[in-house]
Amino acid sequence: MAEATRNPAPYTEADLSLIKRIIPHRYPFLFIDKVRDIVPFEGGVGIKNVTCNEPHFQGHFPDEPVMPGVTLVEAMAQTAAIVVGISMNIIDQPMLTYFMGIDKCKFRRMVVPGDVAELHVKAIRGGGKIWKFEGRALVDGQLCASAEFTAMMARKEDE
């Protein structure tokens, strides 16, 4: 298996196919549809098309579906993992991503079926296994959630 390097992969956006080559998440826990505006070691913007068919809406809440706040934070983290994957050129490698901390998390607006959430992530610290990001989820330019989060990406055999 190829070693991760600090030479970024030549991508400024990631479609669903590339996302699946970087992170291990799959339905029903894959919360991003694409990532655009990727700047290696700096940040990017994830896109989440929220639909009524998502399994969490069966219980959150059946008569008034609202995307759980924790899934918005997870979607921001998945977006950040794509930025890390591109930055470190770790595509097609068996990587796992682990949350290490979530700080300054706030929820400001509900996200509901039909919304398109933009997940803006900016690297605060990174370059190795452990990265810290600042994230904001927006719908129609309105802030829905924000958080700082720290995560580690490691090869499966490094666990």
pLDDT in tens, 123-134: 999 988 999 999
In the predicted model, what is the mean pLDDT of the chain? 93
Let me know if 46 is exposed, middle or buried by CB neighbors in 10 A (0-12, 13-18, 19+).
Answer: buried
User: Residue ranges of the domains in the chain?
Assistant: 16-158
Above 60 in pLDDT, residue 67? Answer: yes
Q: Give the residue numbers marked as catalytic.
A: 60
For Cα atoms 97, 14, 153, give the angle at the middle one, nearest 5 degrees: 15
CATH code linked to domain 16-158:
3.10.129.10
Q: What pLDDT digit, counting tens, does each position of 77-99 carry?
A: 999 999 999 999 999 998 888 99
